[in-house]
Amino acid sequence: MNVRLANLNEIVNIKKFIDNNWKKKHILSINSKLLKWQHRNINKQKLSIVILENTEKKVVGILGFISINDYSKNNLKKDHVWLGIWCLDKNINKVYGLKLIYYFLNNSKYKYIGGIGLTKNIIQLYKKLNFKVGEMKHFYILNNTVKKTIISKNLIKNNFLIERNFKIKENKSISKSIFNHKVISFKNYNYFKYRYEKHPIYRYRFLNIQKNNKNVLLIIVRKIKVENYSIIRIIDTFGDWSSVSNIGSLLHKFLIKEKSEYIDFLYKGFNEKYILLNGFKIKKNKKIIPNHFEPYEGIKNQPLYYCYKSEIDFELHKGDADSDRPNLIYS
């Protein structure tokens, strides 16, 4: 068995492999534009997909990945890597899948390697490989004007303090000024611009939290519709959460304006206490907030699991790795 990086001209074969071995009509087996965008490589003749091939040069396994260097042009000596689709030929022993993971563990220089959206079965494998695993925290703000919730259940209303020092300004593009702030993040302006402004399918919205007309926190959201109803999902953020206060009241006003049921925020990291201090509640006990909307599977909790190995402090958002990848076919 040989492990190597996929060539761009192999994209048709990769799509067929996904269709035959992962899921029929999976979006990555149909949409070449999304596949190339998701797994771009700094070498334009390559894809950020590792291939496992047998002695007959037949592809029997793939592991997609997302390199921060490929997205943001940091050209760091040690990369930051998210793992994506991991698929083996149905007819080979699953143990061969370890060769794909070992490609990174043994041959790559990285400060961080991880993934989001794991199944319970794969979690056990990552544990054996000494990855740390866990479940993303699920924060929310309920629209207090909603008389009856349709998409969620048992969420708690909040009494927000009126915020006068901060305001929200929505821009059509990502403002570069926020990235002058020194915060703990391995993502930069180039990454955010490519990942969210230039997404081939989704249309993200960019909310700047401002103080004295200066951007202090960027919040990237996506509106998700379920029939005649909608929610707002925070996909990513950049900035210092400890520098803002009571912005839950601003987001609640935005929620009312959008006529959406709630705002939710799947997150893991060092800003959790500041998110709570800014007016968010955390899902626990009998509260129910769906995670899957493509397709929508009804009112039920769907935990989002992560794994990682890291030399640095970091935070995880719903938009990281391929966790906010489209699953439905868009015309």
Q: Would you say residue 218 has pLDDT above 80?
A: yes
Contact assessment for residue 220 and residue 319, using Cβ atoms and an 8 Å cutoff: yes
Q: Would you say residue 93 has pLDDT above 90?
A: no
* Cα torsion angle, 177, 180, 183, 186, sign: positive
Which pair of tokens denotes residue 183? 């915060």
Cα–Cα dist 174/194, whole Å: 10
Which pair of tokens denotes residue 101? 């993971």
- Give the DSSP letter of residue 278: T
pLDDT of residue 248: 95
Q: Where are the alpha helices (DSSP H) in the chain?
A: 11-21, 27-30, 32-38, 68-72, 97-107, 120-128, 189-192, 247-258, 272-277
Domain edges within the chain: 2-135, 137-302
pLDDT > 90 in the chain, percent: 77
Contact assessment for residue 288 and residue 169, using Cβ atoms and an 8 Å cutoff: no
pLDDT of residue 108: 76
Q: Would you say residue 204 has pLDDT above 90?
A: yes
Q: Would you say residue 330 has pLDDT above 90?
A: no
Architecture of domain 2-135: 3-Layer(aba) Sandwich (3.40)
Q: Give the tens place of pLDDT for each residue, 145-199.
A: 999 999 999 999 999 888 889 999 999 999 999 999 888 888 999 999 999 999 9
Q: Give how far Cα 209 sits from Cα of 83, 216, 317, Å.
A: 31, 6, 18
Tally of CB atoms within 10 A around 135: 13
**CATH for the stretch 137-302:** 3.40.630
Q: Would you say residue 3 has pLDDT above 90?
A: yes
Identity of residue 210: Q
Same CATH fold assignment for domains 2-135 and 137-302: yes
Which pair of tokens denotes residue 283? 């899902």
